[in-house]
Structure formats: C-alpha cells, structure tokens
Amino acid sequence: MAAGGTFVITNKVLPGAYINFISKARALGNVGERGTVAFAYPTGWSDGGLISISAEEFQTDCMSILGYDYTDEKMKPLRELFLNAKSVLLYRGEEGTAATATENEEQLNITAAKGGSRGNSIRVVISSDVDNEDKYVISTYMGDTLTDSQTVTSAEEFKDNGFIKLSGELAPTAGISLSGGSDSAFTGTTYQTFLSLIEAESFTTVLYDGEDDTTKSLFASFTKRLRDDEGSKITCVLYDKAADYEGVINVTTAKELVYFTAGANAGAEINESLTNMVYGGEYTPSVSYTKAQLKEAIQKGEFVYYNDFGTLRVLRDINSLVSVSVDKNSDFCNNQVIRVLDSIGNDIAKIFNDYYLGKVQNDALGRDIFRSEIIEYCRKLMSMRAIDEFSSEDLTVEKGQEKGDVIVSFYVMPTAAMEKLYMTCIVE
C-alpha cells in the first residue's frame, strides 16, 4: 500500500504521492470600507448598550428597533446621518424605567420590552377571537401604530414582539395604556460610558451634537488619543469647537448641521471631497455670510455652509487644524487628504495584524512579501485616484533593532479635488 499526504520538507520514508495544494499568491489586503457614525442619542426606548443599525434597517425596522416610525420628528437627526452614512453605532443611554400596566384586578401584568418614556405610548387591546371563543387577539400599539397582533389561548403562548411582555390571566379589554416609563439621564458620565464602549468598535466618525464645552473637550481628547496613541484613525464632528486638530471637524454654521456633516464625512470615499457638496437634509437654517466672513471662517478652521442662490453648500471640506508646521503643513487641513492618510494607516495596520503579525518570519523573504503587499495596496489607491505619483522604488521595508521589528518607509502624495481656478486669457 502506497503512502501519501502533504509535506513540509522532502523527508518522507515511505514511497507514495505527497501533494500540497496552495493558493496562488495574491494581495490579501483591501481598501477599508468607510461609512459608520458613532452617536449617543436618547430615544427614550433603550435596553442599554450599543446597537448597530444599517441604513436599510433604519428605513424598514425603525419602529421595532427605536420605538418610532421612520418619519417621526424624533428620528430627524438619524435621517440626516443616513443621507450619507451606511450604518450608525447608536448608544441610547442606560436602560431607563420600563412602563407597566395591570388589569383584571392585577391578575394581568404588562411591561414594556425596553426601558424609557417611549413605553408610555404603548397601548394593548385584548379581544375575543370571533372564530374561537377560547382564544384571544392581543393587539399592541405604539402610539397610533399597530405593531403586532397575536391570537393565543393564554399569556404563556404570547411570543415576544419586541414591545411588551405579559403574564397572568387574559380577558377582553378595550385598551390598556402603559405608564411609569422614565428615561435615564444623559450626563457627562453617559458620554464617558459611550466613548468607553465604542473604543473597541470599528467606526469612521464620532459625533457629539451638544453645546457643553467640557463634553466637547472630552470628545476631542478621545479622538486625539485614539488617533495618536492607539492608531485608530477616526474623525470627530463637533459644533463650535476650535480644536486645532486634523481629527476634529468644527461645524459653526448651525448646530443642526452636525448630523449631515458627520454622515457625509463618514460616507465619503477616500477619493471624494465634500467641497461644494449640496446640503440635502430637512433643516432650514438661516445662512448669510459675506465673502470676508467666509474667508475668516476658513482661516479659523471652521466647516461652514454657504448660501448659493437658495441652495446650501459646503464651502470647503476642511478640519479644525490651523497651527500648521513643518511636520503638518496646510495639506493636513484638507479632510480629503486626511481620509487618504487615515485609510493608509488603518488598512496597512490591518493587513499587518491579520496576515503577518506572529505568522511571517522577519527575514529578507518575509519582508519582501510584506513590501509587495504594500505596493499592491498603494497601486489600488492609485487606480482609485486617491494618491498620485507613487513609486515602488521609494518604499523600503527593513529589519528594526529588535528581531521582530519591521521598519517601513515610503512617500505618498494624496490627491485632492479641484477647488480654485486661476486662469489668464489673453485676447488679441
């Protein structure tokens, strides 16, 4: 009987066929996806913790997830985010007190499925089934919207519908309104909890829509720490915060425009600029700047919108950085440039961590493979017109001082959308 199997080195003793199947070498890394906004927003309907909501889920399952219809005024900030964002990492605060109700001399107990004041809008109607007198139809309303209807013989048969939990003896009733639901307070501690929860998550932009200076500083410091110390290249959108930092976007035109700005920044691809982008949201802020005021806003690192004959547009896609230096020149004020640099930082770190860290030997061959990986990644950026004039000759991957250290150095030239035209027309 012939032997067989696979081999690492050619040292087999028994005769037979030893065959390895391996994939053809190809690039492992891709350009990372953008589009997620992290946002703390009290909806009055929470069971605590973070939830991730996609744009599709927000449109189709808004009531079941957040307790409101998609068109409700309460959902307006989220509608603004989802005009451009692909998903939202939402923190609704700690679970508040759940609304409750009792009926049939306290023999039937109903409790809202989530805590918060929104539970006070729940009404439950129990009626006899016209086709079977031993069964009951339990209809659950959130406000005027029928969210669920079940036919059961007992409370034990009732299936969790995401809105109420009930126990006890069923009996027909015209309507039972829940009450006593209350919200957890949104304080500085709430935002600290929110930031600690999202630190381990993957997102593009974090948003704070308030005006408290201490909390704004907390968000700015959080962003700077994650970018500079943890290597997590996120951005932060704040209202009226002169942070003087490339990771913070300072919206000053109107506070309600922070939602659209955060969603647009998160959803923008690395080869895309928001300069001159039309505001497509529902708010109607009064915007009137002189040219001198717009120039001053740019010099102060403010993200502003201007009125273009009745259409609101982004003036320039810039962040709050104003203190330019040799290490960070004026290019670092451009958000499109920052998106490119952030993607390079995030993506190459992911490539290294996922495919090389602890898996590939730090010898000449291993470093050459890693170098080829970075070259292929940069060529993808070139094909997307996110960077220009990249040359593989400028990329070096060398061994560091410690045996496991790898030192990478290369030049990169991010592209940016056209913003200014200087033209001379000579007429003879």
Least confident of 23-27, 71-75, 177-181, 269-273: 23-27
pLDDT band at 301 (very low <50, low <70, confident <90, very high): very high
For residues 66 and 151, state if they share a domain. Answer: no
For residues 89 and 154, state if they share a domain. Answer: no
For residues 87 and 105, state if they share a domain. Answer: no
Q: Residue 195: what pLDDT?
A: 98
Q: Residue 13: what pLDDT?
A: 58
For residues 137 and 244, state if they share a domain. Answer: no
Q: For residue 125, give the CATH number of its domain.
A: 2.60.40.4290
Q: Residue 24: what pLDDT?
A: 47
Least confident of 25-34, 166-175, 222-231, 395-404: 25-34
For residues 169 and 316, state if they share a domain. Answer: no
In this model, does residue 279 exceed pLDDT 90? yes
- For residue 347, the enclosing domain spans 28-94+185-428
For residues 372 and 270, state if they share a domain. Answer: yes
For residues 124 and 34, state if they share a domain. Answer: no
pLDDT band at 25 (very low <50, low <70, confident <90, very high): very low
Model confidence pLDDT, tens digit, residues 44-75: 999 989 999 999 999 999 999 999 999 999 99
In this model, does residue 254 exceed pLDDT 60? yes
Distance CA(93)–CA(222), nearest Å, equals 19
Q: Residue 214: what pLDDT?
A: 97
In one letter, which amino acid is 67? G
Model confidence pLDDT, tens digit, residues 4-24: 566 555 666 565 555 555 444
The model's pTM is: 0.89
Asked, for residue 370, whether it belongs to a domain, the answer is: yes
